[in-house]
């Protein structure tokens, strides 16, 4: 009897040791009363500024208002630098080392018979040939097209002159589709060039546009009227449609001062000099700039409300003879990889690498 007890005890100890070793990273978190994304990020990552990675991993669940989350909502939590551990549904890990980068590089469109996808370098983290799988959006596009499996095949065509993408390459169907592009506010500005001339796919990814402000001169942003009278900075050549979106008309009605230097670096330098109240940028560009300039501790990323949420789409010119067919093909592939969970895996892999550097 004693031998049997000892054997059972040994087995129990073995199972416990094994269970303790099989630590997991990431997983599922259920929202409790009083939670905010910042609080959850602080509790799980030890960094409240990582609230946006939680949003980016759950945009379909949370919707267009990251400041509003509801009790009982189950959020998917991405593993970043080995955190968080112990959540249900996490990925088993044996260490917290960063995953090896994926080195598969999309090929070029060698034959005009293939569906040609027009892309370019130097739009990190969304696309660049130096990035794993060509970047987040290229990876999503690759998997969507593989799922759609067009009989003629497809290929990526890298042209680094962005000014030639819409005109003449896509407008003359010299290449078939372009990615990734923002969709202007077509509902209120239907005469905008892209609205008049292009079809937009479902978004491959939706990015947060945030306000970055000086820690020594903070501003609040809970409603649009809080920004009226302030000086925002966004470089020349960048889009401004979001500043007039949803009837705010900040630029159109001159409710704000918009400072437009040459570069994003110039904007953050002006912020540090107290010459602008906030920098308006997508979070990846803004956070990368903060890191490069070494000013993370001097900048507050406003977390009460995003300035806007902008989708990155595939564009197809309306005169393309197969426009609707190609649009259906791409959207179908994208829907399928979302339904299968493949999309979430792609986004997780890229977000884990991106945020580990911020």
Least confident of 82-96, 217-231, 232-246: 82-96
First to last CA, the chain: 59
pLDDT the model gives residue 94: 55
CA dihedral sign, ordered 246, 251, 256, 259:
positive
pLDDT classification of 189: cutoffs 50, 70, 90? confident
Half-sphere exposure of 52 (CA within 13 A, CB side): 25
Q: Are 323 and 173 in contact (CB under 8 A)?
A: no
pLDDT classification of 23: cutoffs 50, 70, 90? confident
Fold classification of 106-340 (topology level)? D-Maltodextrin-Binding Protein; domain 2 (3.40.190)
Q: What would the pLDDT profile of 301-318 be if each residue is shown by its tens digit?
A: 999 899 999 999 999 999
Retrieve residue 263's tokens. Answer: 């570069």
Q: How far apart are CA 305 and CA 272, in angstroms?
A: 22
Cα distances (angstroms) measured from residue 138 to each of 55, 130, 179, 197, 255: 21, 12, 8, 23, 37
Q: What would the pLDDT profile of 132-154 be if each residue is shown by its tens digit?
A: 999 999 999 999 999 999 999 99
Q: How far apart are CA 154 and CA 54, in angstroms?
A: 33
State mean pLDDT over 323-334.
Answer: 98
Domains of the chain by residue range:
2-92, 106-340
pLDDT classification of 108: cutoffs 50, 70, 90? very low
The answer on pLDDT for 109 being more than 60 is no
Selection from 235, 181, 221, 178 nearest residue 203 by Cα = 181
pLDDT the model gives residue 6: 35
The answer on pLDDT for 184 being more than 90 is yes
Q: How far apart are CA 144 and CA 343, in angstroms?
A: 9
Q: How far apart are CA 160 and CA 128, in angstroms?
A: 10
Least confident of 38-42, 66-70, 84-88, 111-115: 111-115
State mean pLDDT over 209-223.
Answer: 95
State mean pLDDT over 8-20.
Answer: 37
The answer on pLDDT for 21 being more than 50 is no
Q: Are 353 and 102 in contact (CB under 8 A)?
A: no
The answer on pLDDT for 40 being more than 70 is yes
Give the chain's mean pLDDT: 89
Q: What would the pLDDT profile of 258-268 be if each residue is shown by its tens digit?
A: 999 999 999 99
CATH number for 2-92 (one of 2.40.50.100, 3.30.70.1140, 3.40.50.300, 3.10.350.10): it is 3.10.350.10
pLDDT the model gives residue 22: 58
């Amino acid at each position: 009897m004693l031998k049997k007890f000892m054997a059972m005890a040994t087995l129990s100890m073995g199972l416990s040791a094994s269970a303790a070793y099989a630590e997991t990273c990431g997983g599922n978190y259920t929202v409790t009363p009083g939670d905010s994304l910042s609080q959850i990020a602080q509790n799980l990552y030890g960094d409240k500024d990582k609230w946006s990675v939680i949003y980016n991993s759950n945009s379909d669940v949370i919707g267009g208002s990251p400041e509003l989350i509801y009790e009982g909502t189950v959020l998917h939590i991405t593993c970043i630098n080995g955190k968080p551990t112990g959540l249900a549904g996490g990925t088993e890990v044996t260490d917290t080392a960063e995953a090896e980068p994926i080195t598969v590089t999309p090929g070029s469109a060698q034959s005009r018979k293939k569906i040609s996808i027009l892309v370019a370098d130097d739009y990190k983290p969304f696309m660049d040939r130096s990035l794993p799988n060509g970047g987040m959006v290229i990876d999503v596009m690759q998997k969507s097209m593989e799922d759609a499996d067009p009989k003629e095949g497809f290929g990526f065509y890298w042209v680094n002159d962005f000014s030639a993408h819409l005109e003449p390459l896509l407008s003359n169907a010299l290449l078939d589709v372009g990615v990734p592009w923002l969709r202007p506010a077509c509902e209120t500005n239907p005469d905008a060039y892209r609205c008049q001339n292009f079809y937009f796919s479902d978004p491959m990814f939706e990015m947060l546009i945030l306000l970055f402000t000086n820690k020594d001169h903070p501003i609040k942003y809970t409603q649009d009227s809080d920004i009226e009278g302030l000086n925002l900075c966004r470089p020349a050549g960048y889009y401004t449609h979001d500043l007039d979106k949803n009837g705010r008309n900040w630029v159109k009605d001159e409710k704000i001062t918009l400072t437009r230097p040459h570069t994003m670096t110039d904007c953050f330098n002006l912020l540090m000099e107290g010459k602008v109240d906030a920098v308006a940028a997508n979070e990846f560009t803004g956070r990368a700039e903060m890191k490069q300039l070494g000013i993370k501790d001097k900048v507050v990323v406003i977390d009460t409300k995003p300035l806007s949420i902008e989708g990155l789409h595939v564009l197809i010119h309306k005169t393309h003879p197969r426009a609707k067919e190609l649009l259906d093909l791409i959207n179908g592939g994208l829907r399928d990889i979302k339904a299968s969970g493949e999309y979430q895996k792609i986004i997780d892999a890229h977000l884990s690498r991106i945020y580990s550097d911020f």
